Structures are given as C-alpha cells and as structure tokens.
Chains A and B, each alone.
Chain A
Amino acid sequence: MPMTPASSPHRAVSGTHVAWWNDRRIRGVLYQVLVVVGVLALVAYLIDNTLTNLAHRNIATGFGFLGREAGFGVSESVIPYSPADTYLAVLVVGLLNTLKVSVIGIVLATVIGTLFGVARLSRNWLVARFATIYVETLRNIPVLLQLFFWYSLITEALPGPRQALNPLPGIFVSSRGLKLPEPVWQTTHLWMGVAFLAGIVGAWALGRWARLRRERTGALFPSLQAGAALIVGLPVIVWLLSGAPTEMSVPELRGFNFTGGVTVTPEFTALLIGLVLYTGTFIAEIVRGGILAVAHGQTEAGLALGLSRGQVLRLIVLPQALRVIIPPLTSQYLNLTKNSSLAVAIGFPDLVSTANTAINQTGQAVEGIAVIMAVYLTVSLSIAGFMNWYNQRIALKGARG
C-alpha cells in the first residue's frame, strides 16, 4: 500500500531512472489487482464448494421456501399470525418483535443511563456511590448471563398463576408473565391515535415558531410545556368528546391460566430488563463524560448574560454536551439492537430465533443467515444514518462535521 506518486521520495531525486517494478504508481495498481483477484477467487472458491455441498446433500437453494407454510407457532406476535402462515410471515413477526424490544429498550436505557450518569456526578456521596456500584457491576458481567438470571428469576422465583401476585386490581404478576387490563378496541382509539400524531406535528411546529421568534426578537415562549400539553391534551379531548369509553378487558383466572387482558411474557420482560440495565451502564458513562466535557466557563458566561439556570441548561449547556454524547450513544443504540438477538437463548421469538427455527426445518442455512444479516445491516445502517444526520444538524456550523 504505497503512497501516491506525488509524495514519492524517488520522484524528488530527478533524473534517476526507476525500474518499472519500483514505480509506485505501477506497484499500487498491481497491489490492488492482486487483492481484488485474491478476494474474488476466495469468494468464488467458497461459493463453488457451497454449491457442490448443497447439491450432494440434496438441499434446495433459493428463497422459494419463504412462500411455503411455516407450520410452527410463536409465543407472541405484534401482528396476527398462525402456524398456517408462510415462512415470510413468521420472519416478519420475528422482525417486528426485534424492533419492539429494541425501540422500547432504547428509550428505557436512555432514561436509566441518563439518571445514573447524572447520579454519579451528584454531590450526595451516597447517591454517587449507588450509581457507581450499579455501573461498575453490571457492565462487567456478560449480558447473556444477566438475561439467564432475569429469565430464571421470573420463571422460577415468581409464584404460579394460581398464587399470582395481585399488586393492583386487574394486574397479576406470576411466572407466566405480567397480565394487564386492556381497553377494548373502539374507533375512538383510532381517532385518539390521529390526535396524538397531530399533537406531535403541532408541538414540532410550535417549537420551530418559538425558536425563530426567539432568534429574531429574544422573546421567550414556554414551548416545551405547550408542546407537551398539545401531545397529551389532544387525545384526551378526543376521548372526552366521544363520551369517555372505559370498557376494559380484565384478566381473569380460569383453570390454570388467565384469560382476557394483555400479557407481557416472561421472555420479553427478561430480555428487556437485561438489555436495558446492561446498556444503561454504558449510557451512564457516556452521559457523565458529556456533562464533564462542557467547560464550566460556559455556564458562568450564560449566567453573566442574565439567563436563568434553566435557560442556561437548555440553551447553552445541553446543546454542547449533546455534541459529545451523540456519537458514542449511537453505537450503544446499535449494540442494544444487535444484542436483542440474544433472545434466541431464552426463547423470545425475535428475528434470529424465528429464522433459526426456519433454518432447522428447511435446512436452508445460507438463505436464513443471509436474511438475518441483511435485516440487521439495514437496521444498523438506518439507525447510524439517522444519528449521523442528527449529529450533523447539531454540530458547530462551519466546523468539522
């Protein structure tokens, strides 16, 4: 991997003849050709071996199996699914489960991480110690071990459905998971969803208007509170206007298990707790580093300008801390998403788990693993792309992006 001709020291000594095999430009081309040919040859060799092996073992190739009937059930699904559906459907179920646990996990891990990151900086000695112990312990224990622990804790240590704990009316905790009451579906809920989305759009527009006005006139507007009121208030108004329906499906013990209500399975709970607590330790360290990275003079300068402490935090400190926090935070989000594949070890039907069953049934390992990898690459690249976009938006204008 030589330098380009421009920086070649040989060129500086003018007049001396350089043999062609010592010419850096030619060498560069040669190296590249060698590497590319080598990589292609290796890939061709592997593909050839694979095809030969597959042919000898009478394993079909291609993605035709996706259209066939899967024939196995999954313990939980976001969309309706039955074993009579296709392999494609079961993979989509798995993908949606992966996304569900990742999204909820990312939100919770961010909250937990921020809390403990801030707590480690607390002047209260006890609080700081507590946070330190949490961070130092859990980050040094493999996440898979933690998943096994939580799963065993739920399925072994909690009582069975007949002796289920009943902390609040309608809520049952047992080794079969968490049972919650569920509102019976009505069209009102659809309109509440629409109102919620409208609230988000309205809050965003309001925030933008408030920012532009602040930059123009310096006048402040409580856009955070107003935005929150819009997002929460609009659905509530819709609910009240439609006569405040309160019909609920409450879980009830029938025989050996519960009927009605909505279930949070032990697998999902264990996976979520494990991932959140493990990733939370890393986020806590990132948040702590980000806060420490903002120079103290920034706060003093803000106060000297006559801003309130809240304004200093919102307008001066946080934007600078975020700039340090976002890049490592992105890789933690990606780690959480990738670690959700450990679901296969405790039987939560995520993408890897369902694809694994499909591989075992059809024998089409190459296609199954290709699906897993393609999906994770897509998800990883989209999260990375979104976070890069956000990072560039908040980066210093005119500075290195």
Chain B
Amino acid sequence: MNARDETPEEIFSREEEPIEPHVAVKAPPAGHPLRVVDWAKANLFSSVPNTVLTLACLWVLWETIPPLIDWALLKAVWQTSDPRVCREADGACWALVTEKHRFILFGLYPWNEQWRPLLAMALFIASGAVSCYPGFWRWWLPVLWAIVLPACAVLMWGGIFGLTFVDNTQWGGLPLTLILSVVGLVFSFPFAILLALGRRSELPAIRAVCVGFIEFVRGVPLVSVLFMASVMFPLFLPEGVTVDKLLRAQVGIILFTAAYLAEAVRGGLQAVPRGQYEAADALGLGYWRKMGLIILPQALKISIPPLVNQFISMFKDTSLVIIIGLFDLLTTAKTALADPEWRPFFIESYAFVALIYFAFCFFMSRYSQFLERRMETGHRRS
C-alpha cells in the first residue's frame, strides 16, 4: 500500500468537495462516450498531487498483481503428495491444502467418521443462515434450534444410533472453533444481560459486584483468563472432580465474553429514553416485568450492532485456545506445518484458514450493517 502521507490538513482543505468518493461527479447519461474519461478526470487526475498518488497506486498494482497471479494461480502446484515437487516449482503449493485439508478442517477427529462433523457443520450453518433473515423470526425458530443443536451434539459425540463414541478431546478444526464461539455466545448472553442490569441497578451492593466483575475482566487479557481456566480451575474444584480441557476453556471464554457483551447491553439500556422507564413504573409493573416487557426489547434492539461486533471479535479470539493446547482451526493450520518438508509453505496453510475466518467475520459485519438499517424505526436515541 503506497498511499502517500496525506495529512489531515490536505483532507480538510478539500472541504468544498463532497467527502464520499463516488458522488464527486454527476455521471452523464449512460452510454455517453466521455463518461469514463470524465470520471477518471474527477476522481483520479483532478490535481497534480492527486495524479501523482494515482500513478503511485498504479505502479504498486503493476508491481504486485502480475507476480501474485503468477505465484497463486499460474505456477502453483495444485495436487501432489510429495513436498519436493512443490520445492521445485516457483508458485504456491496449494497441494499442502489439498493434502491436509481434512486435518486442518477436522483436526484429530477419526478419519472415517469425519462426515459427522461435516454434516453437523452443514446443519448448523444452514440453521444459522435461516435465523439471519428477520422475516423468519417466528415461533418455530427456537424449535428448529432445539432440534438442530442436540442433533449436532449427537453427531459430534455419537455413542447412540450405531455411531461410535468420539471423545471431545478428539474434536478439532473448524467445528471446534464454531462450538467454542456459539456455545460461548449462547451462555454468555443471559449472563451479560444480568450483569448489565446489575450495573444499572439502584442497589449499591449489586452494582458494586457487577462493576467489579466487568471492569476486572475487561482489564486483563484473554490469554490470562485462559491460563487461569487451564491451570487454576482444577485447583478451584473439590478433590477428585476433574473437568476436561475443552469445558475449562469454554468457561473462560464465556466469562470473558459476558463482560464485553454486558457493556454493549448497558449502552442499549442507557439509550432507552427515560420516559419509557417512567411509563412502566406508572403502569405499576414490577422490576422484572418492566425490564422484560418494556425496556429490554428496546435496549437489545439498539445494541444489536455492538453485540454482533463483540461476537465477531469473540469468534476471532477463540483462536487463542492454541495457547492452552486445544486443536482449533488455527492450531490445526499450524500443526499441518509441523512436518519440516512442508514448513516452507506456511503462507498457503495460513492463507487457507485466514480465508475461512475472513468469510465468517466479513459476512457477520455486513449482516450487522444490514440489520442496523432494517431495524431503524426512527425511535433511536444515541
């Protein structure tokens, strides 16, 4: 990226022109021969510094794009089980992904049973896609999830219906990443609502407990919470009781996420106009009915964008479980490189999982923008 140091001064000195780059020039009627030229003149070559910038960008593109295409597509090796073939070639070694994609996606899950996590993920992602459309937010949606989630659990664990039992220490890859983030969200969300309500409570002791928890968790890194989950939880439990590593990491993630989600919910609670609280009091509603029927529905709607953002960052943060030795998507990508023969092709392995993470996160961030526009009812007060 060779963007010239454009100082804020220069940006602000152009204030006569609209800031959005695309509306700079009114396009003449379609089909006009000069349309492209006019557009380029207005957006790329309007002044001398602007022209210099454009040329610099074009030069960077010229220098990077052709070699990149060469490397990634034209000279790439797509299929071989022998890393030496890759070493001979000049291009990318996508054969690493072709060879190891099942390990990267499913980790140590028994090879012959890997259709089970695949099916579980497909079910799960399909239900997720259905739930994204606000038109489907009906009574049957919770029913759907009540069927899908146990179905996924049965597929993953097995042990009944003739499926062999697979211990959760063998889970890994993308299913593990999805489980950690979705189970984390499902359990931390109610906890977060309680924390947010507690923080806004008028009872000083309850407020102090909630503020203390939220600020403590937000002040320390997730790594330290995961360390705590992995080394200190076993000490917290009575003798003889053990909890497996996955569950411990999951509890750590739930506690950590709850504090951040609570702050998002609190933002929503604060944005609900005071009159709504007063109206609920005037109706004689008790605390829980006031919150459940009047305040929370409005507050949660307002906090949807920050909630989705928190979920995105939690989805990315599940990759930290590599530090306590769980086989999530990032760990499998790194482990696929453990063989020194394949190690030079780390870019391919990381690019593959980066693409998966990117696809999920990008979709969610676009979705949150879509929801924000759709839910805008004009009552919002920020």
A and B bind: yes
Q: Which residues of A contact B (CB under 8 A)?
A: 1-4, 7, 9, 28, 31-33, 35-36, 39, 46, 49-50, 52-54, 56, 114-116, 118-119, 121-128, 130-131, 134, 136-137, 139-145, 148-149, 152-153, 156, 291-292, 296, 299-300, 309-310, 312-313, 317-318, 338-339, 341-342, 344-345, 352, 356, 359, 365-366, 369, 372-373, 376-377, 380-381
B298 to chain A, nearest CB (A): 18
- Enumerate the 5 nearest inter-chain pairs by beta-carbon distance, A residue then B residue, closest first: A140-B361, A32-B205, A338-B221, A341-B221, A142-B316
Given contacts A54-B235, A292-B19, A369-B227, contact A119 B319 (CB under 8 A): no
A17 to chain B, nearest CB (A): 17
Contact A345 B354 (CB under 8 A): no
A52 engages B330 (CB within 8 Å): no
List residues 333-382 of chain B with CB under 8 A from any CB of chain A: 333-334, 337, 343-344, 346-347, 350, 353-354, 357-358, 361-362, 365
25 contacts between A and B (CB under 8 A): A7-B281, A9-B281, A9-B282, A28-B203, A32-B203, A49-B237, A53-B234, A115-B3, A118-B7, A122-B11, A122-B53, A123-B21, A123-B24, A124-B44, A126-B54, A130-B3, A137-B358, A140-B357, A142-B319, A299-B12, A313-B13, A369-B232, A372-B224, A376-B219, A376-B220
User: Which residues B221-247 have CB closer than 8 A to chain A?
Assistant: 221-224, 227-228, 231-232, 234-239
* Secondary structure call for the B interface: helix
* A124 B54 Cβ-Cβ under 8 A: yes
Question: Contacts A124-B50, A140-B365, A142-B330; is A369 near B231 (CB within 8 Å)?
Answer: yes
CB atoms of A152 and B350 under 8 A apart: yes
Measured CA separation A312–B319 after assembly (Å): 46
A373 touches B358 (CB 8 A): no
Give Cα distance in the complex from A119 to B19, angstroms.
Answer: 11
| Structural contact, A126 and B206, CB atoms closer than 8 A | no
- When the two chains form their complex, are residues B9 and A1 in contact, meaning their CB atoms are under 8 A apart? no
- Expressed in whole angstroms, the minimum distance between the Cβ of B309 and any Cβ of chain A is 10
Check if B70 is an interface residue, CB within 8 A of chain A. Answer: no
Q: Does B362 contact A127, Cβ atoms closer than 8 Å?
A: no
Considering only CB atoms, which chain A residue lies closest to B194 in the complex?
A1
A357 smallest CB distance to B (angstroms): 12
Find out whether the CB atom of B224 lies under 8 angstroms from the CB atom of A373.
yes
Asked whether B209 is an interface residue with its Cβ less than 8 Å from the other chain, the reply is: yes
Q: How far is the CB of A325 from chain B (nearest CB, A)?
A: 11
Cα of A3 to Cα of B200 in the assembled complex, Å: 11
A145 vs B317: C-alpha distance in the bound complex, in angstroms?
A: 10
B224/A310 in contact, CB under 8 A = no
Q: Is B161 an interface residue (CB 8 A)?
A: no
**CB of B37 closer than 8 Å to a CB of A:** no
Which residues of B lie under 8 Å from residue A376 when comparing CB positions?
219-221, 224
Tell me the bound Cα distance from A344 to B323 in angstroms.
8
A144 contacts B330, CB within 8 Å? yes
CA distance A34 to B9 in the complex (A): 58
Q: Which residues of A contact B282 (CB under 8 A)?
A: 9
B60 nearest CB neighbor, chain A only: A130
Question: Told that A145-B350, A317-B12 touch, could you supply 7 new A-B pairs with CB distance under 8 A?
Answer: A125-B43, A127-B54, A142-B317, A152-B337, A156-B343, A299-B12, A342-B223
Bin chain B's interface residue count. Answer: 35 or more
Instruction: Considering the complex, give the chain A residue whose CB is closest to the CB of B361.
Output: A140
Tell me the complex Cα distance, A215–B3, Å: 37
The complex places the Cα of A210 from the Cα of B1 at a distance, in Å, of 39
Q: Which residues of B contact A149 (CB under 8 A)?
A: 346-347, 350, 354
A318 to B209, CA, bound (A): 39
Instruction: Give CA–CA (A145, B182) in the complex, Å.
Output: 20
Q: Which residue of B lies closest to A121 (CB)?
A: B19
Chain B: which residue is nearest A365 at the CB level? B231
Q: Once bound together, how far apart are the Cα atoms of A121 and B19, in whole Å?
A: 6
B330 touches A145 (CB 8 A): yes
Q: Tell me the bound Cα distance from A44 to B5 in angstroms.
A: 58
Q: How far is the CB of A276 from chain B (nearest CB, A)?
A: 13
Shortest CB distance B27–A (Å) = 13
Query: Is there an interface contact between A142 and B357, defined as CB atoms closer than 8 Å?
Result: yes
CB of B46 within 8 Å of the partner chain: yes
Residues from chain B with a CB closer than 8 A to the CB of A300 are 15
Q: B241: shortest Cβ distance to chain A, in Å?
A: 9
| Across-interface contacts of A372 in B (CB, < 8 A) | 220, 224, 227
State whether A309 and B235 are in contact (beta carbons under 8 Å apart), knowing that A32-B204, A126-B53, A145-B330 are contacts in the complex: no
In the bound complex, what is the Cα–Cα distance between A46 and B21 (angstroms)? 58
Q: Report whether A125 and B21 are in contact in the complex, using a CB–CB cutoff of 8 Å.
A: yes
Which of B15, B50, B201, B317 is the most central at the interface, judged by chain A CB atoms within 10 Å of its CB?
Answer: B15
- Residues from chain A with a CB closer than 8 A to the CB of B221 are 338-339, 341, 352, 376
CB-based contact B202/A377 at 8 Å: no
> Within the complex, which residue of A36, A143, A148 is in contact with B334, where a contact is CB–CB below 8 Å?
A148
A141 to B316, CA, bound (A): 7
User: Across the interface, do B209 and A1 meet the contact criterion of CB distance under 8 Å?
Assistant: no
Asked if residues B358 and A291 are in contact (CB atoms below 8 Å), the reply is no
Q: B84 within 8 Å of A by Cβ?
A: no
